[in-house]
Structure 1
Amino acid sequence: MKFLILIIFFTSIIGLSDTFMSDLGCFKKNSETNNYYEDSTLIFVKGGSFKMGDRNCEKDELPRHRVKLSDFYIGKYEVSNIEFAEFLNIKGNQYNDHSYWINTKGIWRDLKCRIFAENNKFIVEKRYENHPVNFVSWYGANAYCKWKGGRLPTEAEWEYAAKGGVETHSPIPNTFGSRASLPPPPNNIGDFAWYSSNSDNKINEVGNKKPNVLGIYDMQGSLWEWCSDWYDAKYYAKSKRKNPQNLDKADYKVLRGGSWANDKEMLRITNRNALNPNTNKINLGFRIVYDL
């Protein structure tokens, strides 16, 4: 504890940053008092190695290969409507690659985007402030993360965090990821994931289900989450073994995790989805990552 206090004190004295991160925690500066406080919305993920992919599922999950990752922080929750509206009120809803960062007029059946523009301001519909932002393109997700000083997760980081940051050799056959991502028995998928059988055909507030073993909520189900990588079905055969990220521009960006509209089979941790980065649909969202 003394060591932690000294770090925070030293950082505040020399004014290195408004955010201080280590494996002891993430601390942010209060702009009024200049004191640091712990940011409880981020989860520390200790780096390590794990087997990425699945030899028994889709071809683009092959070959199953070992990956080594550095430490990072990941959002405890998916980014919410109120958080994204704050960003829009500062940066505006900009246009990239034939689409806006967020489709505020997006609608699907009786569901719609809960952020709307009124009197030159972006407002969140009441009672939806803490629902995950959706109808957001990869460009919008990426811009938000940069604005916050972070970034989107690589798909390797996403898979590692979803698995609980541990090695696993016991995947549940082609149904719901790995045992390492599940709470202690009984492992009931409905206890910690929104999917087609329990979502009531709607998007639910963040953090209402149980977290995984790292304390991260809604990694599976809820919304498909944008990752930083460009999609390549054969990328695993040629990817780097340390901190891999596919930077070779292609037609699609990777998404992970499945959504409230999918059957539970789509929520497998190793399952890879891909869409054009300008896509902004009802079931697309994201979460943020920070480097140490």
Structure 2
Amino acid sequence: MRGVRSAVLMLVPMCFLVAQAEPKSCCGVLPSRFSVPVPPGMVWIPGGEFTMGGHGRFVRPDELPRHRVRLDGFWISRTPVTNDEFARFVKATGYVTTAERAPTAEELLKNAPPGTPPPPAEFLVASSLVFKPTEDPVPFNNPLVWWEWKSGADWRHPEGPDSSLEGRGDHPVVHVSWFDAQAYCQWKGGRLPTEAEWEYAARGGLDEKENVWGDEPVSPARCNTWQGTFPVENSEEDDFYSTSPVRKFEPNGYGLYDMAGNVWEWVGDWYRPDSYAYDATNAVTVNPTGPSSSYDPQEPYTVKRVTRGGSFLCNDDYCSGYRPSARMKTSPDTSLVHTGFRCVIPVLFPPE
């Protein structure tokens, strides 16, 4: 999806790593008293191999070719980062998110095609993208018809300035850009997961399955997605119109929650539709970190990072984004009402 800054330019014409250093000890194995403690709120994912890429009925070209990947073990957040957790980060650091800062015309034009006119002054305000249902069914080739650039929408005000986080402390934080997510992870002593780490963790030990729970189809009992006619009416069979508490639905095989639905999650990788082609030339690719740069032929002037996992707006008629192999691409300054993140902490020594 086009980012917040880039989306404005569409609308105008239309109207630390904790432990990756070399070991300092000469000892091959440290005594148990030196074992790494369990980071609060995180789950250990043991290293291993899996088949990365699309499986099932809804596979898209950028999920292929499937290829074998081997990963070292890592810690990953049990849930997406919540509003309460993000609030503690902001209180401790004074951090101001992308959506809370007014963009400049230069920022907006940075990823625009040559010759794009500068946006009018009324667009140069602190804003973010919120979902706006349509009155009637619409073609799915122009997502801007169900997104609204709203002044005052940010992580504290998910639907706009008149909304709040009351009763939503345990919901995923949203309206965070890639930069915001990375800043939080660094504060926690970690980083965003790679695409490969995210997909491996999402599969929960179920290799080559369509969904995080297996090959059975999605249902309102499994995850927070859209039921009804998108983007017109959500029947709320899962009891939620937008985000849900992070532990509302059953965890996957690794004990991770919301690896399908609820909110899209930022990962570290740049987006390219052909990024799997190189990895597929290897028998096994070890600890991939994605391409060195971004390119999306649909929007060649906009650099993009990858998001994973789908959201409360996904359904099979539109994107089926809740599948563990599904990839979305978004400019890193984007903030939206359905996008959050979780963190990874790689370690030298796994838990005992």
The one-letter amino acid of 1:53's match is G
The answer (yes or no) to whether the contact 2:321–2:327 under 8 Å persists in 1 is no
Does the residue aligned with 1:43 lie in a helix, a strand or coil?
strand
Query: How far apart are residue 133 of structure 1 and its match?
Result: 0.1
Comparing 62-71 and 243-252, the one that deviates more: 243-252
TM-score (norm 2): 0.62
Aligned to 1:182: 213
Comparing 256-265 and 133-142, the one that deviates more: 256-265
The answer (yes or no) to whether the contact 2:265–2:308 under 8 Å persists in 1 is yes
Aligned to 2:336: 281
Aligned to 2:156: 115
Q: How many residues align?
A: 244
Aligned to 1:255: 307
Gaps of 5+ in 1: 1-5, 12-19, 29-38, 117-123, 172-176
Gaps of 5+ in 2: 1-30, 103-125, 134-149, 158-163, 228-237, 295-302, 348-352
The one-letter amino acid of 2:258's match is D
The one-letter amino acid of 2:315's match is D
The answer (yes or no) to whether the contact 1:164–1:213 under 8 Å persists in 2 is yes
Aligned to 1:36: none
Whole-Å Cα distance in 1 between the matches of residues 260 and 82 of structure 2?
A: 16
Query: How far apart are residue 249 of structure 1 and its match?
Result: 2.8
Query: How far apart are residue 45 of structure 1 and its match?
Result: 0.7
The one-letter amino acid of 1:189's match is S
| Structure 2 counterpart of 1:146, from 158, 183, 186 | 186
The one-letter amino acid of 2:204's match is G
Query: How far apart are residue 267 of structure 1 and its match?
Result: 1.4
| Structure 1 counterpart of 2:324, from 269, 272, 286 | 269
Whole-Å Cα distance in 1 between the matches of residues 197 and 67 of structure 2?
A: 14
Whole-Å Cα distance in 2 between the matches of residues 211 and 113 of structure 1?
A: 28
Whole-Å Cα distance in 1 between the matches of residues 257 and 324 of structure 2?
A: 14
Whole-Å Cα distance in 2 between the matches of residues 58 and 163 of structure 1?
A: 18
Aligned to 1:33: none
Determine which structure has greater relative contact order: mean sequence separation of CA pairs < 8 Å that are 6+ residues apart, divided by chain length: 2
Q: Deviations over 1:244-277 (max 9, x none)?
A: 0125132100001110011042211111100000
TM-score (norm 1): 0.74
Query: How far apart are residue 125 of structure 1 and its match?
Result: 3.1
Query: How far apart are residue 92 of structure 1 and its match?
Result: 2.4
Larger Rg: 2
The answer to whether residue 85 in structure 2 is matched with residue 83 in structure 1 is yes
Aligned-pair identity (%): 34
The structure richer in strand per residue is 1
Whole-Å Cα distance in 2 between the matches of residues 248 and 96 of structure 1?
A: 24
The one-letter amino acid of 1:225's match is E
Query: How far apart are residue 199 of structure 1 and its match?
Result: 5.2
Structure 1 residues 45 and 105: alpha-carbon distance in aligned structure 2, compared to 1, 3 A threshold: same
Does the residue aligned with 2:38 lie in a helix, a strand or coil?
strand
Whole-Å Cα distance in 1 between the matches of residues 38 and 304 of structure 2?
A: 35
Whole-Å Cα distance in 2 between the matches of residues 95 and 129 of structure 1?
A: 18
